[in-house]
């Protein structure tokens, strides 16, 4: 999932050349403008922040015993894929941009980079899909979706995620499905073979996109049905003579006291479980929304470019590529922001260090 970013061909760079800026670092290249340097610095910081934040999530899951179960195994799988994006993909992509969109590191490293690029990004996308599916089943089938069933299904989804990602990533190398490296042009990019483009984009993005949109629609419907059903079946007790009734001010309960006995009825307020479900629905919605916004521009251009031979400006291809990479930064932020257990675990982890 590679695209060029021409940082030296900007108006700022042209102005620097006309004003007698510093000589080019590489032969045949215009020097980077101030804007280009700032942009590269931001991209490097994005890669470092993505790596550190996902590594923190992984370290927390490994250290806290309460996280050694579902759904935290799905979160760990997502964090592993995002750590790999930050450690193995983004740095080489940054080097590619610095080299003026030319690949000077040879054919073997080009194949490795492209394979890890497709593998890690595809796994990250499918991990988001797996988390959405897990949330849907835990909400709509919480009686049948027991802890044992949830563990088996989540492990199966993790295995399928990485297996499918490996097939999509290694298909050009194993089956000669197009070429990723051109020695004459010093080009290194994902195979532009039209049949592989359709296969890879649908397998890596459009299929999981359809799944997550359908799942979130079902989650929203299930959440609305549960709230409506609870309200229609609510009990409004009537107190006879001699019965003391008092309504809890900050709880969704009415407490009846008869002599020394206390009976509690649930009223129309939100229970702890319902509040937790609402937060989970909101978290999944934001996770899916950010995933779509980050990746859809890249995959639209990736699909139409080989099929219609459209001339998409290199700067836009690179913007869309790095926007997709940024999804690996947002994933752990979104998930942990809606989970108090992670926030408490982070505080405990840092307090122990000090």
pLDDT over 90 at 110, yes or no: yes
pLDDT over 70 at 260, yes or no: no
pLDDT over 70 at 83, yes or no: yes
Q: Is 318 exposed, middle or buried (0-12, 13-18, 19+ CB in 10 A)?
A: buried
CA distance 162 to 320: 24
Mean pLDDT in residue range 275-279: 75
Q: For residue range 141-187, what is the model confidence (pLDDT) as tens digits?
A: 877 888 889 999 999 999 999 999 999 999 999 988 888 888 888 88
CA distance 290 to 285: 9
pLDDT over 70 at 298, yes or no: yes
Which two three-digit tokens encode residue 217? 């629609």
pLDDT over 70 at 244, yes or no: no
Q: Peptide bond before 183: cis, by omega within 30 degrees of 0?
A: no
Of the listed ranges 37-41, 122-126, 172-176, 341-345, the one predicted with least confidence: 341-345
Which two three-digit tokens encode residue 250? 């900050």
Residue with the bigger pLDDT between 76 and 307: it is 76
Provide, for the chain, the percentages of residues in helix, strand and coil under a 3-state DSSP scheme, each rounded to the nearest 5: 70, 5, 25
CA distance 111 to 24: 28
Of the listed ranges 22-26, 180-184, 268-272, the one predicted with least confidence: 22-26
Q: Count of CB atoms within 10 A of residue 350's CB?
A: 10
Helix (H, G, I), strand (E, B) or coil at 254: strand
pTM, 2 dp: 0.79
Q: For residue range 90-108, what is the model confidence (pLDDT) as tens digits?
A: 999 999 888 878 899 999 9
Percent of the chain with pLDDT over 70: 75
pLDDT over 70 at 116, yes or no: yes
Residue with the bigger pLDDT between 150 and 280: it is 150
Which two three-digit tokens encode residue 191? 């195979």
pLDDT over 50 at 120, yes or no: yes
What value does the mean pLDDT of the chain take? 80
Helix (H, G, I), strand (E, B) or coil at 256: strand
Percent of the chain with pLDDT over 90: 42
Of the listed ranges 28-32, 163-167, 199-203, 290-294, the one predicted with least confidence: 28-32
Mean pLDDT in residue range 211-223: 85
Q: Where are the alpha helices (DSSP H) in 176-271?
A: 194-201, 207-232
Model pLDDT, residue 273? 65
Written as one string, the DSSP assignment of 55-80 is HHHHHHHHH-GGGSSTTHHHHHHHHH
Residue with the bigger pLDDT between 79 and 345: it is 79
pLDDT over 80 at 17, yes or no: no
Mean pLDDT in residue range 227-253: 50
pLDDT over 70 at 280, yes or no: yes
Highest mean pLDDT among 47-61, 133-147, 294-308: 47-61
Up-side HSE of residue 301: CA atoms within 13 Å toward CB?
A: 21
Mean pLDDT in residue range 59-82: 90
Residue with the bigger pLDDT between 340 and 31: it is 340
Q: What is the DSSP letter of 242?
A: T
Mean pLDDT in residue range 280-303: 91
Residue with the bigger pLDDT between 39 and 140: it is 39
Of the listed ranges 25-34, 252-261, 309-318, the one predicted with least confidence: 252-261
């Amino acid at each position: 999932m590679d695209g060029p970013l021409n940082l030296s061909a900007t108006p700022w760079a042209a102005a620097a050349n006309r004003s007698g800026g510093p000589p080019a670092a590489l032969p045949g290249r215009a020097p980077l403008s101030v804007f280009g340097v700032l942009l590269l610095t931001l991209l490097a910081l994005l890669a470092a922040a993505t790596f550190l934040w996902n590594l923190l999530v992984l370290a927390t899951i490994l250290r806290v015993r309460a996280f050694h179960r579902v759904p935290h195994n799905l979160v760990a799988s997502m964090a592993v894929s995002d750590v790999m994006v930050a450690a193995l993909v983004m740095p080489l992509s940054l080097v590619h941009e610095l080299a003026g969109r030319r690949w000077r590191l040879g054919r073997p490293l080009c194949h490795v980079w492209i394979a890890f690029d497709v593998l890690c990004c595809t796994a990250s996308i499918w991990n988001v899909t797996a988390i959405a599916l897990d949330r849907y089943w835990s909400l709509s089938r919480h009686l049948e979706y027991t802890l044992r069933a949830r563990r088996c299904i989540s492990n199966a989804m993790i295995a399928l995620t990485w297996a499918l990602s490996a097939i999509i990533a290694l298909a050009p190398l194993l089956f000669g499905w197009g070429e990723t490296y051109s020695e004459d042009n010093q080009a290194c990019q994902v195979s532009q073979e039209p049949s592989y483009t359709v296969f890879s984009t649908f397998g890596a993005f459009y299929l999981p996109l359809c799944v997550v949109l359908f799942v979130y629609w079902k989650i929203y419907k299930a959440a609305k049905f549960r709230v409506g059903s609870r309200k229609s079946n609510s009990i409004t007790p009537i107190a006879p003579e001699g019965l003391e009734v008092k309504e809890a001010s900050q709880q969704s309960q009415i407490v009846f006291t008869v002599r020394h006995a206390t009976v509690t009825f649930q009223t129309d307020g939100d229970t702890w479980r319902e509040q937790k479900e609402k937060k989970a629905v909101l978290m999944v919605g934001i996770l899916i929304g950010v995933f779509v916004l980050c990746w859809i521009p890249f995959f639209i251009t990736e699909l139409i470019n080989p099929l219609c031979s459209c001339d998409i400006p290199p700067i836009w291809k690179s913007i869309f590529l790095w926007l997709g990479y940024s999804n690996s930064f947002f994933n752990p932020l979104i998930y942990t922001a809606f989970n108090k257990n992670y926030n408490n675990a982070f505080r405990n982890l840092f307090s122990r260090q000090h």
